[in-house]
Amino acid sequence: MHAVERLPAREAAAVALIAARNIEARKAAPPRRPLFDHQVPPPQPWDVWLLLGGRGAGKTEAGARYVDDHARGSACIEGPVPHRIAIVSPSHDDAVNTCVNGETGLRQVNRSIKFTPGAAKTADLTWPNGAEAQLFGTFAPEDVERFRGPQHCLVWGDELAAWRKLDDVYPMIEFGLRLGRHPHMIFTTTPKRRPKLKMVMAQEGTVITRASSHANTELPEAYRRLIAKYEGTSLGRQEINAEIIEDVTGALWRRDLIRYRPAPTTFHEGKPVLDYARVVVAVDPAATATEDSDLTGIVVDGLGHDGNGYTIADLSGRYLPAGWARVAVDAYHAHRADRIVAEANNGGEMVREVIRAVDPKVPVTLVHASRGKTTRAEPVATVYEQGKWFHVEPLPDLEDEMCSYTGAPGEKSPDRMDAHVWGASELLGLSEGGWGGGKSW
């Protein structure tokens, strides 16, 4: 007879405790419906599973269920913490609201997961067996620095294509992926034309799954009617069919016209300082601020002493008037702008007054649109063609609008692009007649 190998008493007790905790966790977890085909993880071997899905396709649920299964599975690390996982989103709030507390997030997938946000001595998420997960954002420079030090056996990146600091964060994530026999990553995202995303798609070890919004057969009928409005459009191809949209025929901008360059600097007493001749905060206010209303476009543009234009930041969003005014005024101070330029077609003097209510000392220039969006944008697009305008960092949402808007009837309003056109026009002295000092089109 073969001898039966027995674990030392301490190790046996630890194994028994983990097994008991897993049983309790399974009891606490709600019943799961079968996964859709596109939510089923591909068979190994792979280093990256990239799930490209349309809006509502079930990407978040697929990611949450994969992370939970991994956390409750065979240990990657010896000791009381069998797994260390990173959960990465466009912002820390997105990680909390979507990946953790969302309708298909981790706490819906497994109710036994403990969530202790902001705790100094514990992880953000803890499983009954001791597995831990930490939440990360990718919005600000300090978010990038948070990836220095931690190491993981699994990384779940949600909405990868919307990460503001994607190019900076991605290598930091890879450097920390060093725990266990096979550390790996999963990404769940609606695609956008980001060079880093295309690099991930092309690299060895990546397995890609694609799914349109229609692959989720449980979407409510009202939502299906909503997305039907965008079928066949470039926005629909991206947001519904999960296609990466290249250049759009008829759009004023091509992707190759958008170039990147760091902000212009000079040196003062041996220290680098920004070298802008002018900076403006441009605002295209929305007429309403409901859940499905247009965005308020807020873009920060600058003109360098080198004669080139620079797009510095895109702060657009859905805001009430007091909200967008606060964002614009904060940007005015943060970027040391010389004025706020705001379109007055929606609200007239009200636009000036809501800004003054936040800070009466901020100078405001109101501009009025008397020609179409495409006509207003053409002179600015020409400056890009001349190689005289740069973005200081990737601004994917703004760039998507610039490279997809054609002015076709029924096309969604390009609110970010509109704000940018107003800002660039102010800096370049563009008027309805061409170059000059006019303030209206």
CATH number at residue 285: 3.30.420.240
**In this structure, is residue 91 part of a structural domain?**
yes
Asked if residue 1 is part of any domain, the answer here is no
Q: What's the rounded Cα separation, in Å, for the pair 19 and 251?
A: 59
Residue at which a domain ends, from 239, 271, 306 = 239
For residues 71 and 180, membership in a common domain is answered with yes
Query: Highest-confidence range of 56-70, 113-127, 385-399, by mean pLDDT?
Result: 56-70
pLDDT at res. 24? 57
Of the chain, the percentage scoring pLDDT greater than 90 comes to 66
Residue 234 has pLDDT above 80, yes or no: no
Give domain status of residue 384, yes or no.
Answer: yes
Provide mean pLDDT across the span 333-340: 96
pTM for the whole structure: 0.64
In angstroms, the CA 400 to CA 378 distance is 17
- Whether the per-residue pLDDT at 251 is higher than 80: the answer is yes
**Mean pLDDT over residues 419-435, rounded?**
79
Q: 232 and 194 in one domain?
A: yes
pLDDT for 15 beyond 60: no
Whether residue 8 has pLDDT greater than 90: no
Q: How confident is the model at residue 95 (pLDDT cuts 50, 70, 90)?
A: very high
Task: Say if residue 428 is in the same domain as residue 300.
Answer: yes
Task: Give me the chain's average pLDDT, please.
Answer: 87
DSSP 153-205: SEEEEESGGG-TTHHHHHHHHHHTB-SSSS-EEEEEE-----HHHHHHHHSTT
Specify the 3-state DSSP secondary structure of 108: helix
Higher pLDDT pick, 198 / 23: 198
Decide which of 53 and 231 is more confident: 53
Domain identity same for 205 and 267: no
- The residue assigned the tokens 């509109």 is 418
Same domain, yes or no, for 279 and 159? no
* 282/269 Cα distance (integer angstroms): 32
Q: What CATH number is attached to the domain comprising 46?
A: 3.40.50.300
C-alpha span between 186 and 67 (Å, rounded): 9
- Kindly report, residue by residue over 360-390, the tens digit of the pLDDT: 999 999 998 777 888 889 999 999 999 999 9
Shared-domain flag, residues 104 and 206: yes
- 182 and 291, same domain (yes or no): no
Q: Is residue 245 part of a domain?
A: no
Residues 171 and 260 in one domain: no
Same domain, 61 and 193: yes
- Per-residue pLDDT band for 236 (boundaries 50, 70, 90) equals confident
Q: Is residue 2 part of a domain?
A: no
What pLDDT shows up at residue 4? 37
- Give Cβ neighbours of residue 182 (< 8 Å, ≥ 6 apart): 44
- The sheet carrying 154-158 orders its strands as 114-115, 125-126, 132-136, 84-88, 154-158, 184-189, 48-53, 206-211
Cβ neighbours of residue 349 closer than 8 Å, sequence gap 6 or more: 366
Write down the pLDDT at residue 161. Answer: 94
The total number of structural domains in the chain stands at: 2
The answer to whether residue 404 sits within a structural domain is yes
In degrees rounded to 5, what are phi and psi of residue 250? 95, -10
Domain that holds residue 86: 9-239
Give the pLDDT confidence score for residue 2 in this predicted structure.
41
DSSP secondary structure code for residue 215 in this structure:
G
Identify whether residues 131 and 160 lie together within a single domain.
yes
Is residue 4 one of the residues assigned to a domain? no
Q: Write down the H helix ranges in 229-276.
A: 234-239
Higher pLDDT, 171 or 406: 171
The residue-averaged pLDDT of 204-233 equals 89
The domain boundary, picked from 239, 272, 296, lies at 239
Q: pLDDT tens across 130-142, in order? A: 999 999 999 999 9
Claim to verify: residue 304 and residue 378 sit in the same structural domain? yes
Domain termination site, one of 239, 274, 299: 239
Are 20 and 87 contained in the same domain?
yes
pLDDT above 60 for 193: yes
Peptide bond into 45 cis (omega under 30): yes
**Structural domain includes residue 154:** yes
